[in-house]
Amino acid sequence: MPTVEVNGARLWYDEAGSGPAVLLLHGGLGDSGLWEPVVPLLAERFRVIRTDLRFFGRSAGPAAPWSWPDDVVGVLDELGVERAAVAGLSLGGRLALDVAVGHPEIQEFWKRVGAAKTKSEMEVVVQSALGASGFMEFARFDHGGVVHKGESGDYAKVFRFVIGNPLIMREMVKHVPDAGSYAPVTILIDERRDGVHISYDRMASFLTPYQNEAALKVAKDLDAKVEALLASAAA
Q: Which pLDDT tens digit goes with each residue over 156-184?
A: 778 899 999 999 999 999 999 999 999 99
Does residue 155 register a pLDDT over 80? no
Residue 36 confidence class, pLDDT cut points 50, 70, 90:
very high
More confident site: 78 or 100:
78
**Cα 114 to Cα 129: distance, rounded to the nearest angstrom:** 14
Most confident of 31-40, 64-73, 76-85, 94-103: 31-40
For residue range 42-65, list pLDDT tens digits in order: 999 999 999 999 999 999 888 777
Does residue 14 register a pLDDT over 70? yes
Does residue 235 register a pLDDT over 70? no
Domains contained in the chain, CATH given: 3-100 (3.40.50.1820), 106-233 (3.30.310.70)
More confident site: 48 or 192:
48
For residue range 88-146, list pLDDT tens digits in order: 877 787 788 888 888 899 999 999 999 999 999 999 999 999 988 899 999 989 898 88
Does residue 234 register a pLDDT over 70? no
pLDDT value, residue 186 = 94
pLDDT value, residue 92 = 80
pLDDT value, residue 16 = 94
**Cα 69 to Cα 132: distance, rounded to the nearest angstrom:** 13
Mean pLDDT computed over every residue of the chain: 89
